[in-house]
Amino acid sequence: MFSSIVITNYDAYEPYISSYTMNIHYNKHYKKYLDNLNNLLSKYNYEYSKEELVKNIDIFPIEERDNILFNLGGVLNHELFFNNLGYGQMSEELKNKIDEDFGSFDDFKKEFIKQANLLIGSGYTFLVLNKDNNLEIINVANQDTPISYDLIPIMNLDLWEHAYYLDYQNDRKDYINNFFSIIDFSKVSKIYEEIQKNI
């Protein structure tokens, strides 16, 4: 049984994401994925973390794997997204790595925004670390998780309509641009640095 992350400050990202959207996103969408996941897993015994379950999805009967993976991805992707919202500063270590892999922070930002605008349908744009320990920006559809592709998620942007439609309607472009005003780069840096310590 996995427990919920806690969010109480729904208005923390106004005016870029409204309190109303945050409330629904967390209480309805995220918690629904978590409830579905816990229900699906309730009849099994396992001692895996959520990330390990992605890697070991074949322990479940084949007819249940898609449904488990969809809800597991829904939980993992939302927990990362909510984690990377905020206003913290980037560490020198991550800043240097971004300069190394993208040229500069501005180039990274341009590439992230470009990829987000290219995503068709529901999904996420992710900053990930690949097998060579280099940063990449990728899009995933629906609730796919980069963990399935042996990539380590560092940061993401939720591009499902439920994440922005109440605030932006069809102006997805504005939602994507505004995301860069509400990224907690201190938390993104922390994830990056933890991975470096364990390599």
Label each residue of the chain as H, E or C.
Answer: CCCCCCCCCHHHHCCCCCHHHHHHHHHHHHHHHHHHHHHHHCCCCCCCCHHHHHHCHHHCCHHHHHHHHHHHHHHHHHHHHHHCECCCCCCHHHHHHHHHHHCCHHHHHHHHHHHHHHCCCCEEEEEEECCCCCEEEEEEECCCCHHHHCCEEEEEEECCHHHCHHHHCCCHHHHHHHHCCCECHHHHHHHHHHHHHCC
Least distance in Å: CB of 160 to Fe ion? 5
Per-residue contact track with Fe ion, 49 to 88, x per CB under 5 A?
----------------------------------------
CB of 183 to Fe ion, least distance (A): 16
List b or e across 170-180, with b for residues whose CB sees 16 or more CB atoms inside 10 angstroms.
eebeebbebbe
> Closer to Fe ion at the Cβ: 54 or 157?
157
Closest separation between CB of residue 196 and Fe ion, Å? 28
Number of residues this chain uses to bind Fe ion (CB under 5 A) = 4
Q: Interface mask (CB under 5 A) for Fe ion, residues 9-38, using x and -?
A: --------------------x---------
CB of 70 to Fe ion, least distance (A): 13
Q: How far is the CB of 94 from Fe ion (least distance, A)?
A: 25
Closer to Fe ion at the Cβ: 29 or 50?
Answer: 29
- 107-166: contacts with Fe ion (CB under 5 A): 158, 160, 163
Query: Which CB, 21 or 189, lies closer to Fe ion?
Result: 21
- Footprint of Fe ion on this chain (CB under 5 A)? 29, 158, 160, 163
